[in-house]
Chains A and B, each alone.
Chain A
Amino acid sequence: MRPFLYERADQPEAAVIAARIQGQQQAPPTAAAAQFIAGGTTILDLMKLDVMQPQTLVNVGKLPGTIEMSDQGLRLGASVKMAEAAENEIVKRDFPVIAQALQLAASQQIRNMASLGGNVLQRTRCPYFRDVSYSACNKRNPGSGCSALDGHNRNLAILGTSDKCIASYPGDFAQALIALDAQVETLGPNGGRSLAFADLHKEPGDTPNIETQLQPGELISAFVVPTGAWTRRSLYLKIRDRESYEFALASAAIALDMDGQTVRGSRIALGGVATRPWRAREAEETINGQTLNDETARGAAEAAFRGAKVYSHNAFKVELGRRTLARALLDAGRMEI
């Protein structure tokens, strides 16, 4: 691991300033000289691999963070640990898709360490991104090419890809946030702002090294999730190679507002199959107003993957993703709330 200066911030403003001093150069935040560290479960791993090379680490792990209900809905502080949010009684009862997405991620040790803010920014598990002995990775080394296009791409994305990058977004919690129309609040060198969680992450396009809208030195402070008729009837279904402690091959975050057997409104997001947290609007439009049954659920699933582009080893993800989504829709419809 390369040497770095270490700072600890006890207030968010101090964190932003400490990161800002080092973050003056023109670089996407993931390549900035100063990086925030909270739980460390992503960044220390990537520093050991020499994928990330910060000159300064600003510890934001001790910043205060709480879970509370407000007029805007559920407010999750960015410093809250995954395990704490997953086991919070309000979250489990009123926002089960959030609790399940967190609970089905990683291991208890990692959930005890990892913050919610850091979790949504966790970086891809694409093997060519993580292994610096491969020179071609546009995300790590812009303009160098993509080793995954013709390489080991079984676990990589089929939605939102470009000819520059097919790295899949690995997270689960983000799928719950994007499905539920969450807002993300940040504090940066230019003050605070609030943006739709759906606008936080970017598709790779021609610049896969730029993963989010965040600026260097900008720190996520909280997520706000509006409450609605759909939030209690919500779930997260995650399909993977082993039953626990594994990333998704395909997953679905579902929230339904039902009128009897009819879908009054749906919110659908997909994990494991896309380059960023993925809202499946086409699936929602297909199922809204329909009676929920095997046929209509399958129709929504077909719509969700209509734009899929497959690569040498991941064509199976289209059908796996469809079945995952259809089963999740039917399961959500059967929930007793």
Chain B
Amino acid sequence: MGFSMSQSEKPGGLNRRSFLTATAMGATLPVIQQARAQQAESAPADPRAPVDVKLRINGRDQSLRLDARTTLLDTLREHVGLTGSKKGCDQGQCGACTVLVDGTRVLSCLTLAVMAQGSEITTIEGLASSDGALHPMQQAFIDHDAFQCGYCTPGQIMSAVACVNEGHAGTNDDIREYMSGNLCRCAAYPNIVAAINQAKNEMRKA
């Protein structure tokens, strides 16, 4: 496959023209065209140029222009104004940034916003009902005093909601194992387990 020409024209950098030229010489042209036609986040030639990113966050569509480096966490906090998701370690070790992407709990600090394009994102701000009634998990955390400083709490609650929905909250051991990705330096762990045990029953009724 003849990539050498386009590569030598622009060593070390991929621009849109050379990409298309190169792929046009390849055997899998239809695949490439299909891939590129489907992607709204196609890369500009300048890696610092902003990219258009469309996200659906807590039921609202957001159209953003972002540096491709922007994590989902920084997007939420710095660009959308949703500061509930917390930045603890920013390297996938503490769980404070946990959000739901298409109902699945993930770490927003290790997710690029551009990779979440087209997904439904739920943050702590999106849990309560529109009438302001707290989600059963939020209420349970209050009822059981399941926090002290509160910094890890949004991540704990988002993770706990997913833990119940996954069916991983059957026993205290299960809860501890499946909540192990959320650290609490205040060590509110026993109260967190109690809160999840309360909320899982409420969530089942709902």
The interface of chain A, by Cβ under 8 A from chain B, is 1, 3-11, 13-14, 17-18, 20-22, 24, 33-34, 37, 39-41, 44-45, 48-49, 55-57, 59, 61, 106-110, 112-113, 189, 243-245
Contacts and interface: CB of A to CB of B under 8 A. Distances in A.
Contacts of A110: 92, 107, 110, 181
Interface in B5-38: 6-7, 12-14, 18-19, 22-23, 26, 28, 31-32, 34-35, 38
B115 A37 contact: yes
Interface stretch (B77-85, B124-132, B158-166, B198-206): B158-166
Contacts, number: 139
B112 A45 contact: no
A40 B18 contact: no
B172 to A, nearest CB: 13
A11 B26 CA distance: 14
Nearest to B23: A17
B23 A113 contact: no
B30 to A, nearest CB: 9
A108 B168 contact: yes
B14 A56 contact: yes
A197 B105 CA distance: 30
A11 B39 CA distance: 12
Contacts of A5: 14, 43-45, 47, 68
A245 B104 contact: no
Contact of A108 (B43, B91, B162): B162
Given A6-B41, A14-B28, A21 B14 contact: yes
Contacts of A245: 180-181
Given A21-B18, A40-B115, A113 B28 contact: no
Interface string B101-142: 000111100111011000000000000000000000000000
B67 A3 contact: yes
B1 A20 contact: yes
Contacts of B65: none
A24 B5 CA distance: 11
B41 A22 contact: no
A40 B68 contact: no
A189 to B, nearest CB: 7
A268 to B, nearest CB: 26
Contact of A107 (B34, B38, B95): B95
B194 interface: no
Chain B interface size range: 35 or more
A201 B47 CA distance: 32
B47 A109 contact: no
Contacts of B91: 45, 48-49
Contacts of B13: 55
Nearest to A49: B91
Contacts of A13: 28, 31-32
B26 A17 contact: yes
Q: Which 3 A-B pairs have the closest CB atoms?
A: A107-B181, A244-B180, A3-B47
Nearest to A46: B91
Nearest to B38: A10
A276 to B, nearest CB: 23
Given A6-B41, A20-B1, A40 B110 contact: yes
B185 interface: no
Contact of B34 (A11, A39, A113): A11
24 contacts: A3-B47, A4-B47, A4-B68, A4-B69, A5-B47, A10-B39, A11-B31, A14-B28, A22-B14, A24-B3, A41-B107, A55-B13, A55-B47, A56-B14, A57-B68, A59-B115, A108-B168, A109-B105, A109-B107, A112-B106, A113-B106, A113-B110, A113-B111, A189-B1
A24 B3 CA distance: 9
Given A41-B92, A45-B91, A24 B4 contact: yes
Given A3-B67, A18-B19, A109-B98, 9 more contacts: A3-B69, A10-B34, A11-B35, A13-B32, A33-B12, A49-B91, A57-B68, A113-B110, A245-B181
A48 B70 CA distance: 11
A110 B39 CA distance: 25
A243 B176 CA distance: 10
B105 A112 contact: yes
